[in-house]
Amino acid sequence: MLSVLSRSFSRSSKNSLGNRSVLIVGAGVAGPVLAYFLHRYGVHPVVVERTPQLRTTGQTVDVRGAGREVVRRMGVNSVIREKITREDGLALVDSAGRTQAAFGVKDFGGQGFIADIEILRGELVNILYEQSRNHTQYIFGDHPSSINDQGDHVQVTFASGNIRDFDLVIGADGIRSKTRRLLFSDKSPIHYLNMYTAYFTIPYSQSDGTWARWYNAPKGRTVLIRPDNQGTTRAFLTFRSSQRGYEELDPDMQKELLQKVFADAGFETPRVLNGLMNSNDFYFEAIGQVKMDQWSRGRVTLVGDAGYCASPVSGMGTTLAFVGAYILAGEIGRHHDHTEAFRQYEALMRPYVTKAQKLIPGSIHVASPQTSTGIAFRNALLSFVARPAVTRLLTKLTESKTAEKVTLPDYEIVLAQ
Ligand SMILES: Cc1cc2nc3c(=O)[nH]c(=O)nc-3n(C[C@H](O)[C@H](O)[C@H](O)COP(=O)(O)OP(=O)(O)OC[C@H]3O[C@@H](n4cnc5c(N)ncnc54)[C@H](O)[C@@H]3O)c2cc1C
């Protein structure tokens, strides 16, 4: 996918590129990765995170394709692999919990339904923070209330009342980015997929075993139960609805809504709904993709979900955050002129993002069928795909596609020139 990146690069100027300061808004995945590489390229990163401490909630995320190469270049491959959730694979189950189709973690070259790098978001965010914190100023419990591009610098006023100047500002503040709203006041670029999802942790039960279990109920409802590496179980409830605005409700109302929507879903849903009411890490989101014609304006740009969220349906959100942060840091590192850095960043990332955001036609219907007949048909289809011969064939295809995804520019070499 990133084969375009294999062309040779040169540094725009050998003048001092250091002493520049960059404000990164958001300490999720993209923020700390960007901070780490900016420091490596001699730029001074400051990260501001709205929450009072690192936001380590969230369920399992995965890292795929070129994202894995960024993980290696950041030096966190082994520590991430120590923390993976160690699920054996994904089983599609019926209302009695009987397996209809099963995919092991090694199927599709380790990058199938359950990848071989599945890690709790909180553990990943913590690793990235630890790897970047020694060379980054982290500010917690604050956020920009205004961002004024003055031409030769950016003046940022924080909610705390502090005012500081930076050479550049990067919004890494997630799908509902406030940086994006301050920067581009026009209409929201979020394209909703008419689906809602909720994540929360419930007590482990013997039936959870070591496999993720995926259950579909009619009317586009999905219950996904995944054992984690901490002795608990991560539950995901997803439902289809064209009604807008549930993400704006307060958490108690969202929980009430889920109780109603999933009341007659079957399988182990009563247990999940019971766990929902007692969970303290409940997260609810309208699933959408962020699509923008341009990610940058003046001295400000966006990275990760803020600029190009691909949605959990794509399975590429965290990977895009890694790759985008790596390329943006490299381009800032090698260009003194931010206009050129942002131009190159967009030119390199845009095709990758476009491809990642392209959902396989009908994938939402396949993932969440509306009727019992649709569910039965989908399960029969996937039970065919799960046959070892078919999986092996598809694995070969997946491996050859993955190989093209790992060619990233080597900015260390560029900057040493
Ligand atoms: C709490 C949470 C839970 C999640 N759980 C899952 C999950 O279970 N599965 C999944 O696939 N994806 C999940 N995601 C999304 C996933 O982390 C991202 O799709 C992906 O990793 C890209 O990361 P990102 O750094 O671009 O954005 P994010 O990971 O969303 O990080 C954005 C960061 O910016 C901070 N922030 C937001 N607004 C401001 C502001 N105005 N000023 C300063 N800081 C701000 C947020 O608190 C957050 O720390 C979750 C995201 C969050 C925030």
Q: Which two tokens stand for residue 384?
A: 């065919």
Q: What pLDDT does residue 108 have?
A: 63
Q: For ligand 1, atom 51, which residue shows the shortest CA distance? A: 58
- Per-residue pLDDT at 186: 75
Side-chain half-sphere CA neighbours of 166 within 13 A: 28
Report pLDDT for 389. 65
Contact 417, 409 (CB under 8 A): no
Q: Quick check: helix, strand or coil at residue 282?
A: coil
CA dist 5 and 396 (Å) reads 24
- Please report the pLDDT score of residue 396 as a whole number: 63
User: What would the two tokens of residue 8 be?
Assistant: 């040779």
What's the confidence (pLDDT) of residue 130? Answer: 98
The SS3 call for residue 77 is helix
As for ligand 1, residues whose beta carbon falls within 6 Å of it are 25-31, 48-51, 55, 57-59, 61, 121, 143, 172-174, 178, 199, 283, 304-306, 312, 317-318, 321
pLDDT value of residue 109: 64
d(CA 173, ligand 1 centre) in Å: 7
Question: Looking at residue 367, what is its pLDDT?
Answer: 81
Ligand 1 centroid–CA 39 distance in Å is 22
Cα–Cα distance, 9 to 233 (Å, whole number): 46
Phi-psi group of 92: left, alpha or beta (phi > 0 → left; psi -120 to 50 → alpha; rest → beta): beta
pLDDT in tens, the chain (417 residues): 444 343 334 444 443 455 899 999 999 999 999 999 999 999 999 999 999 999 988 888 989 889 999 999 999 999 999 998 888 899 999 999 999 988 887 666 656 666 678 899 999 999 999 999 999 999 999 999 999 999 999 999 999 999 999 999 999 999 999 999 999 877 889 999 999 999 999 999 999 999 999 999 999 999 999 999 999 999 999 999 999 999 999 999 999 999 999 999 999 999 999 999 999 899 999 999 999 999 999 999 999 999 999 998 888 999 999 999 999 999 999 999 999 999 999 999 999 999 999 987 777 877 888 888 888 888 887 777 767 766 666 666 555 554 445 468 999 876 776
Residue 274 alpha carbon to ligand 1 centre in Å: 26
* Fold for the domain defined by 3-86+117-190+289-362+407-416: FAD/NAD(P)-binding domain (3.50.50)
